[in-house]
A and B are shown apart, each in its own frame.
Chain A
């Protein structure tokens, strides 16, 4: 075993000597995490402002309703942080600003809006979107719709109540207007009877993992697979450069050499994953959970499984260029299938079943549970599956490589 360790250590030293590659290959996943994390950061976390929206606002109404919309909604406590409001005098000016891209969207309140709302006539708010900012403009549309729902609801309350009272002769027509005016404060204080209670799988005190945390897992794991593939591929390099034959001529059992080589793949993947975890925890403030034994086991199980996959792939390649071409494709597809790039929940059932074929999926599940405050006991299944898969991968890889050695 000591000899196998020495071989593994030698491989680790050789690979880390190519310092530039090592650092750059570490920088790439960190950059991917940053891009994905910031791209989806705002959109994914519920109940927070998704992003800053520059909104061109045109008030042709100058009435109570447009004031309410501007001051209480768009610049109210909930949305103030999210919306940067620029007021324009005419729809044409606002249109110009949206076209030029200096505003993501325009919201136009037509003249007579307040009157129409109070009365019986139809009216509409107009949202104009910049073609490059349809997501932000869509958010403005949602806000405008929430506002009109609220306004229509208040209107309907007065109208339907009056209609009911009039039809039952409980109020005289001439009293109606005065009664409606008296109801206003009462209507404003009405509270919603329906409460939405959102339950998420988050332990008390823990936070829901955000996009940055999510992509730290998926990109970190994908990168470990890249690294394991590169390390596995180095076995082929040794075969080409005949250094492997030299090792065989040393007083070592072939099995020991092979175990050492595979151990090297494992150690390299482990070091690189640990670096990703440490860097994302420090620089991106990703919380990897509070269970240290859980985290340690998840890391070991993930690395064991992916290093095993690297070994298995290495046993299937016939040349280094195959390793360089096929490994990354496998890593990308497995990560995609696991939902590591696009978070697809609730897709078709077959996709969910298929995604469990990917070890990346089990890693994501396990780490997410830890990040949401889960304990070691809750991640035994993913750990078991990863270790099981890893053992199978290593086993097949070991046998295949040994067989090819015998031929070599």
Chain B
């Protein structure tokens, strides 16, 4: 019985390895995708290009520019004219551009209000970009307010000529600006972790585990979908006319799916580790445990999908769409925390969530195997329920 199962599994693996099309989804596409996304989602560290038009050459405009340049999240691109800035933003080459007007310095000195024009695309843009511009503006406005206030107090006590007032204004502005270099009140920020100093998953450390989990699920959905093809082409029924138990047949198929997923997972992990620079190597045993439990759950869900799909087109279309939806919900594409509370609750019903969460515990939070117990238990429960239902519902005819 076991030997037959093994032969069936081996035959499945050989057929898959020969099928160049399935290799696209098993390896080629995941590699392209993970590389692309890893490069983009390291955006946490990549500065955002911001256009700046300086129509004023005063030191105040320079201070504003320095303030913006001082923000790590920004990469300032100087542009010659406001029209150029507008067209760059319209063409979606820049998410935003600022225009410092020609009378910026003189209006500030005179105590009048100046307007900085900010052009933004009509694409959704991050809330934080606005926050950072506000921050720089707040500081500069404070410098101007300080200078204006001090000069007004001086003028209350002594007569100042306009040029004396201007010199004093400028000196106090510079002192106030200087004060920000060594702020007296700071905000310390600490991410609470179990024990050690750790990294929050981002860039390759988010993309590699997340998309590895998603594409393994997709691969196994595809693999299990082959059961539907076999049913269509009558090869499954033919196999059952031989002295092979239904159990051996299904077990052999499951074993084949599991091994296929394992090979795919190992290759994608190696790619993540050595090419993308993700940190997979912290706890190999933990990674293996989470992976094995996850593969079982994925095999179970794949079988269930094959049992429910009536045609191979259905199975193939759902393999992709379903794994993308489960991946988005389960934290493969981005940290689950950005989802709404309801979706976060729903996320906990997806196997990807428990796999990615388990990998994160090991890769990013430096936790040990005991912390993985809930993940393993839930993944195995998903595997048991879905395998049982899949076997129950799967019809060979």
| A→B interface (CB under 8 Å) | 18, 20-21, 24-25, 28-29, 31-32, 35-36, 38-40, 42-48, 50-52, 95, 98-99, 116-117, 120-138, 141-142, 144-146, 148-153, 155-157, 160-161, 164-165, 168, 170-171, 183, 186-187, 190, 192-202, 208-211, 214, 226, 230, 233, 319-322, 324-326, 328-329, 332-333, 336, 339, 341-347, 349, 352, 365, 368-369, 371-372
Contact = CB atoms under 8 A, between A and B. Distances in A.
Nearest to B315: A324
Given A40-B338, A194-B116, A199-B119, A160 B175 contact: yes
Contacts of B394: none
B360 to A, nearest CB: 9
| Most chain B C-beta atoms within 10 Å of own C-beta, residue among A156, A160, A322 | A156
A196 B118 contact: yes
B321 A28 contact: yes
B187 interface: yes
B222 to A, nearest CB: 8
A46 to B, nearest CB: 5
Contact of B135 (A40, A138, A146): A146
Interface stretch (B237-245, B258-266, B323-331, B369-377): B323-331
Contacts of A319: 21
B331 to A, nearest CB: 10
A93 to B, nearest CB: 13
Contact of A153 (B142, B175, B312): B142
B318 A153 contact: no
Nearest to B132: A142
A141 B135 CA distance: 12
B90 to A, nearest CB: 7
A126 B192 CA distance: 12
A123 B157 contact: no
A199 B120 contact: yes
Contact of B179 (A152, A183, A333): A152
A392 B343 CA distance: 42
Contact of B138 (A121, A153, A325, A329): A153
Interface in B26-57: 29, 32-33, 36-37, 40-41, 43, 48-50
B378 interface: no
Interface in B1-18: none
Given A123-B185, A148-B186, A190 B118 contact: no
A347 B92 CA distance: 9
Given A168-B154, A194-B140, A43 B126 contact: yes
A50 to B, nearest CB: 5
A43 B127 CA distance: 6
Given A38-B339, A135-B335, A144-B187, A21 B313 contact: yes
B149 A190 contact: yes
A161 B112 CA distance: 20
B95 to A, nearest CB: 4
Contacts of B186: 122-125, 148
| Most chain B C-beta atoms within 10 Å of own C-beta, residue among A31, A155, A196 | A196
B161 interface: no
A127 to B, nearest CB: 5
B137 A196 contact: yes
B200 to A, nearest CB: 5
B325 A31 contact: yes
B137 A325 contact: no
B293 to A, nearest CB: 21
Contact of A156 (B179, B322, B340): B179
Interface in B285-341: 310-314, 316-318, 320-322, 324-325, 328-329, 333-341
A164 to B, nearest CB: 5
| Most chain A C-beta atoms within 10 Å of own C-beta, residue among B92, B117, B150, B188 | B92
Contact of A201 (B21, B90, B93): B90
Given A43-B126, A150-B138, A124 B90 contact: no
B172 A164 contact: yes
A195 B172 contact: no
A155 B317 contact: no
B393 interface: no
A124 B183 CA distance: 10
28 contacts: A21-B311, A24-B314, A28-B325, A39-B343, A44-B125, A44-B126, A46-B120, A47-B130, A129-B189, A130-B192, A131-B191, A131-B200, A135-B338, A142-B131, A146-B131, A152-B184, A157-B142, A192-B145, A194-B140, A195-B116, A196-B118, A198-B120, A200-B120, A214-B123, A325-B25, A326-B21, A336-B33, A346-B96
Contacts of A339: 92, 123
A345 B120 CA distance: 10
Interface residues of B, number: 110
Contacts of B50: 346
B168 interface: yes
Contact of A157 (B135, B150, B188, B343): B150
Contacts of B127: 42-48, 50
Given A171-B157, A329-B29, A45 B187 contact: no
A329 to B, nearest CB: 5
A39 B325 contact: no
Contacts of A141: 187, 189
Contacts of A133: 337
B190 interface: yes
A211 B19 CA distance: 39
A352 B123 CA distance: 14
A339 to B, nearest CB: 7
B146 A124 contact: no
A159 to B, nearest CB: 9
A44 B107 CA distance: 33
Given A194-B140, A214-B124, A328-B320, A170 B168 contact: no
Contacts of B21: 319, 321-322, 325-326
Interface in B150-178: 150, 153-154, 157-158, 168, 172, 175-176
B79 to A, nearest CB: 12
Nearest to A371: B122
Contact of B122 (A95, A122, A349, A368): A368
A213 B113 CA distance: 36
Given A168-B154, A326-B24, A127 B188 contact: yes
A126 B120 CA distance: 33
Given A214-B124, A332-B324, 17 more contacts: A29-B321, A45-B124, A51-B340, A125-B187, A137-B191, A142-B128, A146-B135, A153-B139, A153-B142, A153-B145, A156-B176, A165-B157, A197-B115, A230-B317, A320-B312, A324-B312, A332-B33
